[in-house]
Amino acid sequence: MARKKKAERKTGSKSPEKSGRGKLEQFIPDAENIELAERYRHVFLQAPVGILRTDAEGRIEEINPVLVSLFDLQSTDQARKLNVLEHPVMRASGLSGYVADCLQTGTGRISEGSCVTESGDEIYIRFYLSPIERKGEPVGVQAMVVDLTGVRYTENRLLRLYDYFSNIVSSISPLVTVDADFRVQFRNSAFCNQLIGRDVREGENLFDVLNLNPKEEEQLRVDINASHDRRIENHEVKRGNRLIGYSIFRFADEVGLILKDITRIKRLEQRVRSLHTRLLSAQEDERQRISGELHDGIGQIILAAKLNLNTYQKVPQNQQDRFDTALDLIDRASQELRELHTMLYPSVLRDLGLESAIEWCARNVLEVHDIDVQMKVALKKKLAPDYETQIFRIVQEIFTNIAKHAAANRVRLELTVDEHNNILLRIEDQGVGFQLDEIRLRGGGQGLENIERRIA
């Protein structure tokens, strides 16, 4: 009697007319009743992953909507006419090959693959295969397929972002992170190559790597500890004969340091400060010189003219010569003002160019003292206005020194440009000459310092 019931149960499981559920009961062979089968059917249809079952030849017997959509199949009914082993998209994804292997060996498989669907979408999948056996022989395959397309897209995007930020981190200033015990956790290539000069291993002690003297090391330790409470930016330590600037930042349980060799920058800053000081000194000297010219020259002439006019005012009938002298003195003052203006801003340089300005300077500074001037100016093209002004001032300073101190009767000037576009100025005279050290020892040589500033 028990055998008969068992046979009836088997027969009932294979009869669509009695079960009313087609092949689903074969997909879940242990389902004991319609209610249980209905539950599994609900899971089968609503599952967020793809599910299918094949027969021993690879033909699809059951497939859920997720897999129909994933492989761009037209419908569930159309999908049941397909063979997994022959479908081009499933073959491209690798699913067909693993189904064939599962049918042949009766062994489950887990793998991943990718393919392009008929609509042109690239998909990534992971599939879990298990054989369906009867009497120890595989009669089909059950497969669960997970769509990894979104995951792969996110992974690829993260990889691209990682590469992008890795390139940024590698190209910025030296960067290192350390843990609470100052062991190196991360270092970029700039830290190893530019700052340290060797590869730095993870776990090395930061202070062993930097090799600072005790005073500088203590300062850096204090700053790292202080970074708990405040921002540490643009501090400096000495490392050998180099000056290292650093800023400290914290994240999670680590400390990050951005470092930079600022030795050259500091030297340039010092040079700029020095040049600025020299410029201010030169400006002050120039003001004093102009003040002296106005006081000792023009001021005295105007005072003399005033005295003569006062005398003439008292007795105009007998002091006509005083009036004439005052007029002459006023003319002299006017002439000296024009000369001072020309010295401050030579309009001939602006109007006629450098060569004509040098010729004018030679006539008005040297030739009036009977000093013969030979000139050779061979410039390939017009120089920038700043260069022309500086060269003219240098020539003007040298000509003035020759006229005052050299006792020369002949001067030769050459102004040329060499093959490297360097400007060459050479001025020779036949005068008495001087020793530069002696001049500076006496506190003189201001004109030479002006020339040096202009060249620098």
d(C-alpha 80, C-alpha 82), whole Å: 5
Mean pLDDT score of the chain:
84
E strand or H helix that includes residue 259: strand 254-261
- Residue 37 has what pLDDT? 65
- Residue 446 has what pLDDT? 60
Highest mean pLDDT among 8-12, 18-22, 301-305: 301-305
* Residue 321 CB neighbour total at 10 angstroms: 11
pLDDT: is 114 or 433 the higher one?
114
Residues 6+ apart with CB under 8 A from 205: 181, 182, 183, 184
- The one-letter code for the residue type at 34 is I
Residues in the chain: 456
Q: How far is CA 142 from the centre of its chain?
A: 56
Q: Are 323 and 312 in contact (CB under 8 A)?
A: yes
pLDDT of residue 244 exceeding 90: yes
pLDDT of residue 65 exceeding 50: yes
pLDDT band (50, 70, 90) for residue 21:
very low
- The one-letter code for the residue type at 187 is R
pLDDT of residue 9 exceeding 50: no
Highest mean pLDDT among 38-42, 130-134, 226-230, 335-339: 130-134
* Residue 365 CB neighbour total at 10 angstroms: 22
Q: Are 196 and 209 in contact (CB under 8 A)?
A: yes
- Residue 442 has what pLDDT? 62
- Residue 319 has what pLDDT? 78
pLDDT: is 293 or 4 the higher one?
293
Q: Output the CA torsion 295→301→306→309 (10° steps).
A: 180
Rounded mean pLDDT, 260-264: 92
Six token digits for residue 373: 């001037």
- Residue 32 has what pLDDT? 54
* Residue 119 CB neighbour total at 10 angstroms: 6
Rounded mean pLDDT, 428-439: 78
d(C-alpha 402, C-alpha 397), whole Å: 9
Going across the sheet that includes 184-187, the strands are: 184-187, 175-178, 254-261, 242-251, 232-239
Rounded mean pLDDT, 20-47: 61
Rounded mean pLDDT, 264-288: 84
- Residue 12 has what pLDDT? 38
- Residue 5 has what pLDDT? 37
E strand or H helix that includes residue 256: strand 254-261
Q: Please tell me what DSSP assigns to residue 161.
A: H
Task: Say if pTM beats, i.e. exceeds, 0.85.
Answer: no
Q: How far is CA 32 from CA 17, 44, 61, 132, 445, in A?
A: 16, 17, 21, 18, 116
Six token digits for residue 394: 């240098």
pLDDT per position as a tens digit, 101-127: 999 999 999 999 999 998 899 999 999
Please state which of the ranges 81-85, 177-181, 303-307 shows the lowest mean pLDDT: 303-307
d(C-alpha 301, C-alpha 340), whole Å: 14
- Residue 11 has what pLDDT? 36
Please state which of the ranges 167-176, 180-189, 424-433 shows the lowest mean pLDDT: 167-176
Q: Are 414 and 389 in contact (CB under 8 A)?
A: no
Six token digits for residue 326: 């005052």
Q: How far is CA 47 from the centre of its chain?
A: 51
d(C-alpha 439, C-alpha 326), whole Å: 40
Q: Please tell me what DSSP assigns to residue 54.
A: E
* Residue 368 CB neighbour total at 10 angstroms: 10
The beta-strand segments (E) located in 293-400 are 372-378
Q: Of 160, 147, 201, 145, nearest to 178 (Cα)?
A: 201
If phi > 0 it is left, if psi is from -120 to 50 it is alpha, else beta; for residue 106 that is: left
d(C-alpha 385, C-alpha 379), whole Å: 14
84 - beta bridge partners? none
E strand or H helix that includes residue 160: helix 149-171
Q: Please tell me what DSSP assigns to residue 382.
A: P
pLDDT band (50, 70, 90) for residue 213:
very high
If phi > 0 it is left, if psi is from -120 to 50 it is alpha, else beta; for residue 182 that is: left
Q: Are 401 and 447 in contact (CB under 8 A)?
A: yes
pLDDT per position as a tens digit, 284-331: 877 877 777 777 778 888 888 888 888 888 878 777 888 888 888 888
Rounded mean pLDDT, 413-437: 87
